[in-house]
Amino acid sequence: MDDYKFLFKVVLVGNAGVGKTCLVRRFTQGLFPPGQGATIGVDFMIKTVEVGNEKVKLQIWDTAGQERFRSITQSYYRSAHALILVYDISCQPTFDCLPDWLREIEEYASSKVLRVLVGNKIDREDREIPMHVGEEFAERHNMYFLETSAKESDNVERLFMQIAEDLMKQARMTNIPRYDPNSQNINDSTSNDSSCCSRLN
Ligand SMILES: Nc1nc2c(ncn2[C@@H]2O[C@H](COP(=O)(O)OP(=O)(O)OP(=O)(O)O)[C@@H](O)[C@H]2O)c(=O)[nH]1
């Protein structure tokens, strides 16, 4: 039975070819698929994880990096709880584009969205962006930072679990409504939601 209490939407963005699809596949299916084609528009996968004793469903949206899909992918930013901005540590242009991606995020995403910067492909020997450069960029822009390898499975689990934990923490602190699949009302399952403005008696 689908007994999860929290549903979070996580959206991956970044240049074409940085490894967004591979990160999602690695996390959701434990695979590093060979010959992965470019994403067309958006794709999504689901994984339910456990944080503490609670089940958390992550709906992970994998967007196309190619410019021609930009208007489609932008429409997915708004409802994201977390945005993962990915670059390829062996490809300088993917790092140079980060400010453009941040402008998009600022324009289309919620101001409260959790933002994470990820330098992917750390298994490669031809690194062009030193780790501290990525770290500094993330710090300057109030983002979490992690380097990963979808190929070797380095830090991939950690990336998504950290996001799930942080979103849970945020949800608990702000007392946002939980998702209760057994309830008619998507908003009514928080036990002591005293900040609620109206109530049906
Ligand atoms: N060495 C290495 N290659 C990777 C890694 N992750 C992805 N790749 C390769 O990078 C290429 C692009 O990967 P994708 O996951 O399709 O990239 P994407 O960001 O989803 O690309 P778009 O869908 O076009 O936006 C593929 O050839 C992958 O095999 C990694 O961690 N290490």
CB atoms under 10 Å from CB of 189, counted, come to 15
> What is the CA(193)–ligand 1 centre distance, in A?
43
Question: pLDDT for 162-193, tens place per residue?
Answer: 999 999 999 888 765 555 555 443 333 333 33
pLDDT of residue 193: 32
124 C-beta closer than 6 A to ligand 1: yes
pTM to 2 decimal places: 0.87
Q: Is 27 helix (H, G, I), strand (E, B) or coil?
A: helix
94 C-beta closer than 6 A to ligand 1: no
Calculate the average pLDDT of the chain: 85
Enumerate domains of the chain plus CATH numbers.
6-199 (3.40.50.300)
177 C-beta closer than 6 A to ligand 1: no
Nearest CA to ligand 1 atom 32: 121
Q: Is the pLDDT of residue 201 over 80?
A: no
Shortest-distance atom of ligand 1 to CA 64: 25
pLDDT of residue 11: 96
Q: Which helix (H) or strand (E) holds 50?
A: strand 42-51
> What is the CA(21)–ligand 1 centre distance, in A?
7
119 C-beta closer than 6 A to ligand 1: no
Q: Which helix (H) or strand (E) holds 162?
A: helix 156-174
Answer yes or no: are the C-beta atoms of 95 and 85 closer than 8 Å: no
Report the residue among 11, 18, 149 best suited for mutation to probe ligand 1: largest number of ligand atoms under 8 A from its CB. Answer: 18
Q: What is the mean pLDDT of residues 96-115?
A: 94
Shortest-distance atom of ligand 1 to CA 15: 25
63 C-beta closer than 6 A to ligand 1: no
Nearest CA to ligand 1 atom 9: 19
Question: pLDDT for 89-105, tens place per residue?
Answer: 999 999 999 999 999 99
Nearest CA to ligand 1 atom 3: 121
CA dist 105 and 86 (Å) reads 13
Q: Is the pLDDT of residue 200 over 70?
A: no
Instruction: List the single range of 60-69, 77-86, 139-148, 175-184 with lowest mean pLDDT.
Output: 175-184
85 C-beta closer than 6 A to ligand 1: no
Q: Which helix (H) or strand (E) holds 174?
A: helix 156-174
Question: Does the complex come out with an ipTM higher than 0.90?
Answer: yes
